[in-house]
Amino acid sequence: MKNLIVYFSRKGENYVSGAIKTLEKGNTAIVAEKIQAFAGGDLAEIVPVKEYSSSYYKCIEEAKTELHENARPKYRPLDIDITQYDKVFLCYPNWWGTMPMCVCTFLEDFDLSGKKIYPVCTNEGSGMGSSIRDLKRICKNAEVDAGLSIHGARASVSDGAIKEYLDAL
């Protein structure tokens, strides 16, 4: 069995260390690629069918509306056979205290029963939020790890934290 690294990330305008900055690559994508480099496995990106606004402030309002409506935004099809994996590294940013709703859509679309899920959450200081509790609620028959919180502004220099987390597994 092998590792699956599934991630949702957003490039463009992002909140980074107290300021709005334009990122060529989203912080979560950087972290997911590092996990793949260190642990091996297949990488799969959750790409929403309807793109979020390129404006940071509009995007966070869209995300807030989705959360309050408990929406399940569609994403582009993923060409993965989930039965081929026993470990799933789930990488996502903290949006409004939890996972983006398109990540919840993914979790409900795939049967992760019996899988080990390793959440990795990028954030600007809010940690994992309620995402672990929410993940356990959605994936009742999976084993959910306590996860790893990565400060988004430090994603590109997070090698040590990621290696330490992986070594402890």
pTM as predicted: 0.96
pLDDT band (50, 70, 90) for residue 23: very high
pLDDT surpassing 90 at residue 1? no
Domain ranges of the chain: 2-128+141-155
Cα separation, 131 vs 139, in Å, equals: 12
Could you say which architecture CATH assigns to the domain 2-128+141-155?
3-Layer(aba) Sandwich (3.40)
Helix, strand, coil in percent for the chain, rounding step 5: 35, 30, 35
The answer to whether 164 touches 133, Cβ cutoff 8 Å, is: no
Tens digits of per-residue pLDDT, 63-108?
A: 999 999 999 999 999 999 999 999 999 999 999 999 999 999 999 9
Polymer length of the chain: 169
Tens digits of per-residue pLDDT, 49-65?
A: 999 998 999 999 999 99
What sign does the CA torsion over 155, 161, 165, 166 have? positive
Residues 6 or more apart whose Cβ sits within 8 Å of residue 47: 75, 76
